Amino acid sequence: MKKIFYALLLSVTLIGAAIADTRYSMRVDGLACPYCAYGIEKKLNQVEGVTDIDIDLNKGLVSVIVTEGVELSEPEMEKLFDDAGFTFRSMEKETI
């Protein structure tokens, strides 16, 4: 019975490790107020797979977490921020 339990525990752990979200950290110019942050959040919430958004106005940093299998491209983000009236500078990707 212990062997079955440990085998089940191991398989659940391995499956959990295989499912990983991704964090994108983007530098953006023009973020000056909470209204700016709200506009960006509204646009990013329309992107399928986005689960969390964090905006640091002082640093001009927008962090977005997406579910496994969702990829954000730099051209896509550049257009999104440009359409919202901001300047996209760069993007880093990190598996979490």
pLDDT band at 51 (very low <50, low <70, confident <90, very high): very high
Q: State yes or no: pLDDT of 35 exceeds 50.
A: yes
Show the domains of the chain with their CATH numbers: 20-95 (3.30.70.100)
- Residue 3's pLDDT is what? 60
- Quickly count: other Cβ atoms within 10 Å of residue 48's Cβ: 7
Write the burial class of residue 60 (CB in 10 Å: 0-12 exposed, 13-18 middle, 19+ buried).
Answer: middle
The C-alpha atoms of residue 54 and residue 15 are separated, in whole angstroms, by: 27
Handedness of CA 73, 77, 80, 82 (dihedral sign): negative
Q: State yes or no: pLDDT of 54 exceeds 70.
A: yes
Are 84 and 40 within 8 A, CB to CB? yes
Are 60 and 26 within 8 A, CB to CB? no
* Interval 6-25 mean pLDDT: 63
Specify the amino acid at residue 50. Answer: V
Helices (H), strands (E): how many in the chain? 3, 4
Please write the tens of the pLDDT for every residue from 81-93. 999 999 999 999 9
Q: Helix (H, G, I), strand (E, B), or coil: what is residue 9?
A: helix
pLDDT band at 11 (very low <50, low <70, confident <90, very high): low
